Amino acid sequence: MKLGNLYKRIIGIGMRNDPRSRRGAEKVLRKSKKEYRSLRGARKAAFDKDSLVNPYSDTRILYGDKDKDINTIMVGIDIETPELLMADRFNQTDRRVDLVMSHHPGGRALCELHKVMGLQTDQLKSLGISGETADEFMGERIAEVARKLHSRNCMRNIDAARMLDIPFMCVHTAADNMVTSFLQNLLDKKKPKTLGAIVDILEGIYEYKEGASAGAGPEMLIGDRKRPAGRIFVDMTGGTEGSKRAFSRLSQIGIGTIISMHLSEEHYKAAKKEHINIIIAGHIASDNVGLNLILDELVKIEGFNIIQCSGFRRFSRI
């Protein structure tokens, strides 16, 4: 499969599993096209053209020819210069690497990660939080993330890929949509009554078993095994952690348990004040679930050879 076609398929898979629905993701594309038409000069030249066809700013080809044939993909959670050098070493043997795929973003995908966080604004609205409140809470948080990212040197790994001439891409929110959809559907179907029952379900999933064996499996951060679960919200997509101010409103609309990949200390303290149950499923394990589900969809189309690295473990469900 050509690199460009692989990229298009990944975006399509992410949109089909978007918590806003595909229609919600397409609305983001229409907004981007409208903005592009309104621009002139230098601003139009610098505009992110990928955003016209891809609603996920943190998922993209970082380096490489879209016409390159891809057969073997080296997949990792975090790809930096050491992993790219490892791919280069493979390419000096008979184990050729056609593409290196990172989960976490780099380059423009990292510098503009905040642009995908509007997905969380829409999630809060769909859960029952008023539009004005969701916009205020997430607008504040998105601006905070943008400030933090603006000074980052985001091009280090991209430059390494370019200098080694190794095609390189990242698949972040598109994959996080997959794990969010997978877990929310599973829990909606099984209807666990307690936190213990939720953890038992998670521990039955390949990637979380693997995470537990490495000391990074599911943990009840707030609550205990006997605590009633109530209404469950799987909060695992949309760039990075959302607004800590949202916990009070989530509690008011009846959310009893939030299942996240990770939680900062500030967010933990805010959630604890609202007496919301928090289960941390495991960051790297959850990233693995999302990537594996995307790879399953791709392998159904074409039998890619996958090389595991940097915390990624391949578990197939096909």
Q: What is the pLDDT of residue 40?
A: 95
Percent of the chain whose predicted confidence (pLDDT) is above 90: 99
Q: What is the pLDDT of residue 20?
A: 94
DSSP letter string over the chain? -BHHHHHHHHHHHHHHT-TT-HHHHHHHHHHHHHHHHH--HHHHHHS-GGGGT-S-TT-EEEES-TT-B--EEEEESS--HHHHHHHHHHTTTT---SEEEESS--THHHHTGGGGGHHHHHHHHHHT--HHHHHHHHHHHHHHHHHHHHTS-TTHHHHHHHHHT--EEE--HHHHHHHHHHHHHHHHHH---BHHHHHHHHHTSHHHHHHHHTT---EEEES-TTSB--EEEEE--SSS---TTHHHHHHHTTEEEEEES---HHHHHHHHHTT-EEEE--HHHHHHHHHHHHHHHHHHHS--EEEE-TT-------
Q: What is the mean pLDDT of residues 34-48?
A: 96
Q: What is the pLDDT of residue 165?
A: 98
Q: What is the pLDDT of residue 116?
A: 98
| Residue ranges of domains in the chain | 3-174+287-308, 178-283
Centroid of chain to Cα 113:
10
- Assign 317 a pLDDT band (cuts: 50, 70, 90): very high
pLDDT tens for each residue of 164-222: 999 999 999 999 999 999 999 999 999 999 999 999 999 999 999 999 999 999 999 99
Q: What is the pLDDT of residue 229?
A: 98
Q: What is the pLDDT of residue 274?
A: 94
**Do 187 and 215 contact (CB within 8 A), yes or no?**
no
pTM reported for the whole predicted model: 0.96
pLDDT tens for each residue of 63-102: 999 999 999 999 999 999 999 999 999 999 988 999 999 9
Q: What is the pLDDT of residue 49?
A: 96
Q: How far apart are CA 238 and CA 175, in angstroms?
A: 10
**Do 222 and 269 contact (CB within 8 A), yes or no?**
no
Q: What is the pLDDT of residue 178?
A: 98
Percent of the chain whose predicted confidence (pLDDT) is above 70: 100
Q: What is the mean pLDDT of residues 275-298?
A: 98
Q: How far apart are CA 172 and CA 288, in angstroms?
A: 11
Q: What is the mean pLDDT of residues 245-274?
A: 96
Q: What is the pLDDT of residue 289?
A: 99
Q: What is the pLDDT of residue 54?
A: 98
Query: Average per-residue pLDDT in the chain?
Result: 97
CATH domain 178-283 topology: 3.40.1390
- Assign 10 a pLDDT band (cuts: 50, 70, 90): very high
pLDDT tens for each residue of 291-311: 999 999 999 999 999 999 999
pLDDT tens for each residue of 121-155: 999 999 999 999 999 999 999 999 999 999 999 99
